[in-house]
């Protein structure tokens, strides 16, 4: 049975008291203005969703927001640990704040998120970044008011990174970034322990939110005018597993699909070992669910998939794709793939290229293997030199470009309903259900509306089109 612990009303009430005291602290220091927070988010959509809660709590403490670190009273980096490159960027950007802190000692500098949940990172921050005041892990985001208050009390640096997992904090205020698009977390953590991945170590065990709360949140988003809701989890296909409410992911999708209103439902990420025909049937029957499936395969070689502990074979993956296409004929696939996993040979890599050819993904998120501390793959024998891995990576991205260009060229001439997302450089950018961007001329007032576009041209990643009509 589930070990999930929802934080109690008393716990949350005590955070509200800290919220009020932080508000008063800043009001007494800066009677003429609101304090400003600069919150930077690295990594995946889950971090974006966490940052929206962090900003919600900060707004309740009286903070306004700025993109400029130089004018902020609080700088908070919400970090990612998935690849080394992301960590290096954070260390570089934090290092650059040293002079700012020297000039303005009242500035509070904080780090949170996956990276700081790792002991060796916390140790490095303790020893080499003495100007960082606040470090808190992934299981205590809801305690930000209390932790910030402790920093403001001036009793030294605050490091709070308990290993406790299984916590779900409900009722945190949310300050959403995207007006008509929203991320809605449905679960946290991961139980899969793919051998390359740090997520299960820094995010804890898988736990699912209560379906009633999710549906309630979705209803509120729709009532607020949100037109696209992306349901988030590391493995949404195992939503509800081990919980007593008995609602699985297809059932949850059906409930959200039944909410009145004109909106699109997306979800990510799906794990192939848990994707079922029942899910494809649900997608086929739920008109609001986008006919797009992000289904990471990671490698096309059975030997490498076994070493990765992925729990499926390339044949099973391909059969899943075929089955999904039988049930949802126009479904589009995107995926994640890792090149250069320890011990991967040219033969293994060619299996990956072959799988890419067979499936015909609309787009691919491609990564070079990055060893992560404490994961089994960190210590696996890795004889292939970095230059060779880079060459494979290039080869793979070129192949995908060709495939994407062909797929996109096949869409020319179609008329499609899209959500206009932004205007940039004098063009509107809208997204097709299969997660492809189409660029058209048009008035910026169309942003946030559904529109009909005619697709007139294609390059490898992007379509061009003509705006036919805009819906109110
Ligand atoms: N839970 C999702 C899944 O299983 O597909 C993905 C989570 S992970 C944050 C996103 C992607 O990062 C993974 O699909 C994988 O391709 C990539 N990734 C994770 N660990 C990596 C590593 N150590 N090196 C390179 N890429 C990695
Ligand atoms: Fe990482 Fe695998 Fe879990 Fe995805 S399923 S978060 S890749 S361990």
Contact 104, 178 (CB under 8 A): no
298-332 tens-digit pLDDT:
999 999 999 999 999 999 999 999 999 999 998 99
Section 435-458 average pLDDT: 95
pLDDT score of 2 = 53
SS3 labels along the chain:
CCCCEECCHHHHHHHHHHHHHHHHHHHHHCCCCCCEEEEEECCCHHHHHHHHHHHHHHHHCCCEECCCHHHCCEEEEEECCCCHHHHHHHHHHHHCCHHHHHHCCCCEEEEEECHHHCHHHHHHHHHHCCCCCEEECCCCHHHHHHHHHHHHCCCCCEEECCCCCCEECCCCCCCCCCCCEEEEECEECCCCCCCCCCHHHHHCCCEECCHHHHHHHHHHHHHCCCCEEEEECCCHHHCCCCCCCCCCHHHHHHHHHCCCCCCEEEEECCCHHHCCHHHHHHHHHCCCECCEEECCCECCCHHHHHHHCCCCCHHHHHHHHHHHHHHCCCCEEEEEEEECCCCCCHHHHHHHHHHHHHHCCCEEEEEECCCCCCCHHHHCCCCCCHHHHHHHHHHHHHHHHHHHHHHHHCCCCCEEEEEEEEEECCEEEEECCCCCEEEECCCHHHCCCEEEEEEEEECCCEEEEEEEEECC
Instruction: Give the separation between CA 420 and CA 442, rounded to whole angstroms.
Output: 10
The C-alpha angle with vertex 110 and arms to 104 and 112, in degrees rounded to 5, equals 170
- Measuring from atom 4 of ligand 1, which residue has the nearest CA? 271
Please determine, for residue 352, whether its predicted confidence score (pLDDT) is greater than 90: yes
Ligand 1 nearest atom to the CA of residue 271, by list position:
4
**Binning pLDDT at 50, 70 and 90, where does residue 130 land?**
very high
Give dist(CA 221, CA 216) in Å, integer.
Answer: 9
- Better pLDDT: 2 or 459: 459
The Å distance, Cα 430 to ligand 2 centre, comes to: 30
Structure confidence at residue 164 (pLDDT): 73
Rounded to whole angstroms, the Cα distance separating 436 from 428 reads 14
Which among 160, 142, 168, 157 has a CA at the least distance from the CA of 19? Answer: 142
pLDDT over 90 at 8, yes or no: no
Q: Which of 46, 117, 138, 190 is the pocket-test mutation for ligand 2 (most atoms within 8 Å of CB)?
A: 190
Positive or negative, the CA dihedral 365, 267, 250, 80 is positive
Whether the per-residue pLDDT at 1 is higher than 60: the answer is: no
- Is residue 425 very low, low, confident or very high in pLDDT (cuts 50, 70, 90)? confident
Sheet of 181-185: strand order equals 181-185, 228-232, 264-268
Instruction: Kindly report, residue by residue over 221-241, the tens digit of the pLDDT.
Output: 999 999 999 999 999 999 999
Segment 158-172 shows an average pLDDT of 87
Q: Whose CA is nearest to atom 1 of ligand 1?
A: 234
The finding on whether 200 has its CB within 6 A of some atom of ligand 1 is: no
Is residue 361 within 8 Å of residue 389, measured between CB atoms? no
Q: Rounded to whole angstroms, how far apart are CA atoms 324 and 330?
A: 9
pLDDT at 188: 95
- Residue 416: both structure tokens together: 């499609």
pLDDT score of 165: 66
CA of 234 to the centre of ligand 2 (A): 6
Averaged confidence pLDDT in the chain: 95
For the stretch 21-62, pLDDT in tens is: 999 999 999 999 999 999 999 999 999 999 999 999 999 999
Distance 82 CA to ligand 1 centre (A): 7
Query: What is the four-CA torsion angle of 402, 403, 406, 408, rounded to 10 degrees?
Result: -110
Summarised one tens digit per residue, pLDDT across range 354-366 is 999 999 999 999 9
Could you report the per-residue pLDDT of 61-120, keeping only the tens digit for each? 999 999 999 999 999 999 999 999 989 999 999 999 999 999 999 999 999 999 999 999
**Percent of the chain scoring above 90 in pLDDT:** 91
Check pLDDT > 60 for residue 278: yes
* pLDDT tens, position by position, 248-258: 999 999 999 99
Determine if ligand 1 sits within 6 Å of the CB of residue 66.
no
Confidence band of 380 (pLDDT split at 50, 70, 90): very high
* Whether the CB of 44 sits within 6 Å of ligand 1: yes
Contact 362, 407 (CB under 8 A): yes
């Amino acid at each position: 049975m589930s070990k999930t612990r929802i934080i109690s009303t008393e716990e949350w009430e005590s955070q509200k008291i800290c919220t009020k005291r932080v508000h008063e602290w800043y009001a007494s220091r800066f009677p003429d203005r609101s304090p400003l927070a600069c919150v930077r988010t690295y990594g995946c959509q889950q971090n974006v969703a966490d940052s929206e809660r962090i900003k919600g709590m900060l707004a309740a403490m009286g903070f306004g927001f700025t993109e400029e670190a130089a004018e902020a009273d609080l700088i908070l980096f919400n970090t990612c640990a998935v690849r080394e490159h992301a960590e290096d960027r954070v260390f570089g950007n934090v290092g650059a704040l040293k002079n700012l802190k020297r000039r303005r000692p009242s500035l509070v500098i904080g780090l949170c998120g996956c990276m700081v949940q790792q002991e060796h990172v916390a140790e490095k921050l303790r020893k080499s970044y003495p100007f960082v005041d606040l470090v808190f892990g992934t299981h205590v985001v809801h305690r930000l008011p209390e932790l910030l208050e402790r920093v403001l009390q001036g009793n030294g640096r605050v490091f709070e990174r308990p290993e406790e997992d299984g916590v779900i904090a409900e009722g945190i205020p949310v300050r959403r970034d995207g007006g008509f698009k929203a991320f809605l977390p449905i679960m946290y953590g991961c139980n899969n322990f793919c051998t390359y991945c740090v997520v299960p170590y820094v995010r804890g065990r898988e736990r699912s939110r209560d379906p009633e709360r999710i549906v309630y949140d979705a209803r509120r988003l729709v009532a607020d005018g949100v037109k696209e809701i992306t349901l988030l989890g590391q493995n949404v296909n195992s939503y509800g597993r081990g919980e007593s409410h008995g609602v699985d992911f297809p059932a949850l999708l059906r409930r959200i699909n039944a909410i009145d209103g004109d909106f699109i439902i997306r979800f990510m990420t799906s794990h192939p070992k848990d994707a079922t025909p029942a899910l494809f049937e649900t997608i086929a029957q739920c008109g609001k669910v986008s006919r797009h499936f992000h289904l990471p395969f990671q490698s096309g070689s059975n030997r490498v998939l076994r070493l990765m502990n992925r729990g499926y074979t390339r044949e099973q993956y391909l059969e899943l794709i075929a089955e999904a296409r039988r049930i949802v004929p126009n479904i589009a696939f995107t995926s994640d793939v890792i090149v250069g996993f320890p011990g991967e040979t040219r033969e293994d890599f060619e299996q990956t290229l072959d799988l890419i050819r067979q499936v015909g993904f609309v787009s691919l998120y491609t990564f070079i293997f990055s060893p992560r501390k404490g994961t089994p793959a960190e210590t696996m024998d890795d004889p292939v030199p970095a230059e060779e891995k880079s060459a494979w990576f290039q080869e793979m991205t070129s192949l995908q470009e060709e495939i994407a260009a062909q797929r996109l060229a096949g869409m020319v001439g179609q008329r499609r309903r899209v959500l206009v997302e932004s205007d940039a450089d004098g063009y509107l950018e809208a997204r097709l259900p299969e997660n492809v961007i189409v660029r058209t001329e048009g008035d910026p007032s169309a942003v946030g509306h559904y529109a009909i576009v005619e697709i007139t041209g294609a390059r490898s990643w992007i379509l061009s089109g003509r705006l036919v009509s805009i819906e109110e």
